[in-house]
Amino acid sequence: MEFNRGDSEASRILRDIQALKDTKSGIEHKLSVLEARLQEINLQDDAVSNGSSAPSSTVDSGFGNGLTPDMIYRYSRHLLLPSFGVEGQANLLKSSILVVGAGGLGSPALLYLAACGVGRLGIVDHDLVELNNMHRQIIHTEAYIGQSKVESAAASCRSINSTIQIVEHKEALRTSNALEILSKYDIVVDATDNAPSRYMISDCCVVLGKPLVSGAALGLEGQLTVYNYNGGPCYRCLFPTPPPTSACQRCADSGVLGVVPGIIGCLQALEAIKIASKIGEPLSGRMLIFDALSARIRTVKIRGKSVQCEVCGDHATFDQEQFLEFDYEKFTQSPLSASPLKLNLLPSDSRISSKEYNERIINGEAHVLVDVRPAHHYKIVSLPKSLNIPLSTLEGRLPEVSSALKEEEELNGIVSDSTAQLYVICRRGNDSQRAVQYLHKMGFTFSKDIIGGLESWANNVDRNFPTY
């Protein structure tokens, strides 16, 4: 049959595409390993011919400015800038910059830092590339989905500029390794997205005396500033106590327009380049605030270094030992890694698994399913016949729950001493527990939460159910 032939040809093509993609990513990986090795050999040779072991990419070319003919040609547009010139480029080539996080902010920051000729560029990340990163984390390609972000980012940087040294740190930054990693670089770029990492990186920069270029982007807004530079404030000077956990949103929960971290990441690269090349006025003691919807960029003065700051203030005694012992997760009440929060608020008899819920549907059990996600989440995808009552509106909409139950009871001919079941679902199973807690208080004592929410439904019941 024509249909079957078309179908099998399509699957054959899909198989071929997958096989070619696998081969391609294997080759790309081998290439990046070889390029890294070659760089190391070249740098060792340079060091030997210079009679020093300094990690400098510049060599005496005989032209008196330390730049080779290739460097002069590659960076010619920089050299033509009167305020940047040979000195700026030579400073950049001698500098080392660490970017923590190869995600939405780190992607453009790393690409520009590699392109502009930073002598040594470090990348820290422990994550793997995922399909839902691709809309903003533009350093990665589809061929690297499922592979290390650091390897992927390093391969992209090397493909842009094979003459600089790229250092891969394939690990999560923790107090146990931060001092060692950060101490190897002149400038640190914070491209992470969570409160404990921000405090940890800032404190570590204070202890080590490194300038920190800090950026943040969420939704349609972004922020940028430089900490611990030329007597300016550190992160703790501005935020001595962490914001409440509910105020700390992450892209995974709140969404972000891909280009917004792209813009902030580019600005982070710019600030790092200014510090490294010693030009202009780095954004210290000031904060840049970007509003994408109104296309407004404002720069506001922020408070200076605080004499009372526990880390950098006049009487601070915070040192490497205290840093090693500091519990940033406890301090900020939130985890260092991006793994989503998993609450456990209810007794087990008030909870059912997604598989159990599926069995109850199959058995035709009379029930109402309330989906407590925000309306714009509900529009992305939802289970059939579910009733969308966002958690924030539940209090005022209890009559709707009662009438839905009544309707279901009438439909199923249930008599007065029994009721239809009431289940509550959300994206990952946290808000559904909060909702059930409230429903219990309001007399719906039989309501139950579906453990792990729609994510569990997609993982355990319907593999084709979209996740986001």
In the bound state with Zn ion, the residue whose beta carbon lies nearer, of 155 and 234, is 234
Judged by CB under 5 A, which stretch of 8-16, 277-285, 305-313, 454-462 contacts Zn ion?
A: 305-313
Which region, judged by CB under 5 A, interacts with Zn ion, from 83-91, 272-280, 309-317, 337-345?
309-317
d(CA 95, CA 377): 45
Per-residue CA distances from 416 to 75, 409, 410 (Å):
82, 9, 10
Active site residue 266: no
User: Using CB under 5 A, which residues numbered 220 to 239 contact Zn ion?
Assistant: 234, 236-237
CB 312 within 8 A of CB 304: no
In angstroms, give the least distance from the CB of 315 to Zn ion: 12
Residue positions in the annotated binding site for ATP? 104, 125, 132-136, 149, 193-194
The residue sitting closest to Zn ion, measured at its beta carbon, is 309
309 binds Zn ion (CB under 5 A): yes
Between 315 and 441, CB nearer to Zn ion: 315
Q: Of the two residues 236 and 448, which places its CB atom closer to Zn ion in the complex? A: 236
Output the smallest distance, CB 314 to Zn ion, in A: 10
Task: State how beta strands 296-301 and 421-425 pair.
Answer: unpaired
Pairing type for strands 212-218 and 421-425 reads: unpaired
* CA 147/CA 126 separation, integer angstroms: 10
Residue 176 burial (C-beta neighbours within 10 Å; 0-12, 13-18, 19+): exposed
CA distance 137 to 359: 40
Query: Nearest distance from residue 264's CB to Zn ion, in Å?
Result: 22
Of the candidate spans 179-187, 311-319, 354-362, 437-445, the one that interacts with Zn ion by CB under 5 A turns out to be 311-319
Q: Which of 116, 205, 251, 266 is catalytic?
A: 251
A 10 A CB-CB count for 181 gives 19
429 phi-psi bin (left φ>0, alpha ψ -120 to 50, beta other): left
Task: Identify which of residues 190 and 371 has a Cβ nearer to Zn ion in the complex.
Answer: 190
Active site residue 251: yes
Binding-site member from 109, 195, 312, 346 for Zn ion (CB under 5 A): 312
Please, are residues 401 and 390 in contact by the beta-carbon 8 Å criterion?
no
Residue 210 is a binding residue for Zn ion (CB under 5 A):
no
Q: Could you give the residue numbers annotated as active site?
A: 251, 426
Instruction: Summarize as ranges the residues that interact with Zn ion (CB under 5 A).
Output: 234, 236-237, 309, 312
